[in-house]
Amino acid sequence: MKEIERKFLVKRLQKDCRKKPLGLFIQGYIAISDDGSEVRIRKEDSKVYLTVKSSGELVREEKEVKMTKKQFEILWPLTAGRRIEKIRYKIKLDNKIAYLDIYKGKLKGLKIVEVEFKSIKEAKNFIPPDWFSREVTYDKRYKNKNLAIDGLPPNNL
């Protein structure tokens, strides 16, 4: 499946955006290739997944496979030193859905909002609301895999 997504830092949180979180997400990276592709595992409350993503910025290939908790527990140690933790919120933006991630642990203070699109044209025509800050779609430092390894970029907020 193709994923078309733009990412932005968050200038300020909307009044009601944190009413009901989708949950706590923990994810770790099993493999990160020099070309930018990745294999990660993620736990979203009681659901667990293995995801393979291609390299890319605005557009990437993504394959997701459900796992058992036992499989997750077996693979989790392989992600040591390459993990992130965040609380995710789903927000309606006119006819779009945005996902607000508020990071925890070593990334505490970082807030990123992602908006997914059906086409490149739709993504390019998107006008971010005023509570969004700088776009980081093309800034590799803000890829979750790089945040997991390198931590917060300097002067990120």
Catalytic residue among 29, 89, 99, 142: 29
Phi then psi for 71, rounded to 5 degrees?
-60, -45
Question: How far apart (Å, rounded) are the C-alpha atoms in residues 46 and 23?
Answer: 10
Cβ(21)–Cβ(102) below 8 Å: no
89 catalytically annotated: no
Phi then psi for 108, rounded to 5 degrees?
-55, 135
What residues are labeled active site? 29
